[in-house]
Amino acid sequence: MFEAIAFYLFAFLTIAMFYIAVSTSQALYALSALAAGMIFISAFFFILGADFLGAVQIVVYSGAVMALYAFGMMFFDTTREVKEKQGNKAIIIGLSSLAALMVVVIVAAPIVGNNIEALYPMTEGAGNTQEVGMVLFTKYLVPFEVAAVMLLVAMIAGIVLAGKKMDLSLTLMSDSELMIMKEEDKKVNL
């Protein structure tokens, strides 16, 4: 009963938030709606008994990813709107529905075909975090390490890409210095 109420409530909230995130033209509204949607999604994980996944969802998405987007947005002029050229709406909606239907078929096909046997069944009397740890550090140890290396590579790439000229403060420089810097940039880019 409560599960059903919670499911429908959070389903409605998540869909509403993500709809706002894709339909609004303001980047700030989209960011806030997306952050709210991420938190609501973690509610599904808690309902489903995946406590650790829910906590990771909140920490990684609402904490790290949204903070990263917020910092990234400070580099841009978010008040200026990017012109959204409207294409053919029928084609877009048709393609999306088709792709979504394909996803359902792909997910449902093995379930309809034969009953799946649990590869790593849940252990009795262990909490979710404990189970996740036991499976992650035995069966999925190599993918775990590969993911760690990938995150390191991504971190270095982010620093290298975004960290250029971070030692210069654009607000403290005079206009003539800025002009000189811009022209140097143009020469380099040519």
Partner 1 sequence: MMEIGLNHYLVLSTILFAIGLVGVMRRKNLLMLFFATEILLNSVNISFAAISHYYGDLTGQMFAFFVIAIAASEVAVGLGLLIVWHKKHNNIDLDNMSSMRG
Q: Which is nearer to partner 1, 166 or 172 (CB)?
A: 166
DSSP character at residue 64:
I
Decide: residue 155, CB within 10 A, 0-12 exposed, 13-18 middle, 19+ buried. exposed
Footprint on residues 42-81 left by partner 1 (CB under 8 A) = 44-45, 48-50, 52-53, 56-57, 60-61, 64-65, 68-69, 72-73, 75-76
Tell me how far, at minimum, the Cβ of 91 lies from partner 1, in Å: 9
Q: Which of 9, 150, 168, 180 binds partner 1 (CB under 8 A)?
A: 150
CA geometry: angle 102, 107, 35, nearest 5 deg: 85
Cβ-contact 14, 30 below 8 angstroms = no
Instruction: Report the distance separating Cα 105 and Cα 103, nearest Å.
Output: 5
Q: Which of 11, 141, 173, 178 binds partner 1 (CB under 8 A)?
A: 11
Q: Which is nearer to partner 1, 68 or 180 (CB)?
A: 68
Should residue 84 be labelled a site residue for partner 1 when binding is judged by CB under 8 A? yes
Q: Which of 141, 151, 168, 178 binds partner 1 (CB under 8 A)?
A: 151
Instruction: Report the distance separating Cα 11 and Cα 41, nearest Å.
Output: 8
Should residue 95 be labelled a site residue for partner 1 when binding is judged by CB under 8 A? yes
Instruction: Report the distance separating Cα 127 and Cα 25, nearest Å.
Output: 43
Should residue 30 be labelled a site residue for partner 1 when binding is judged by CB under 8 A? yes
Q: Which is nearer to partner 1, 109 or 176 (CB)?
A: 109
100: its two tokens: 């979504």
Tell me how far, at minimum, the Cβ of 77 lies from partner 1, in Å: 9
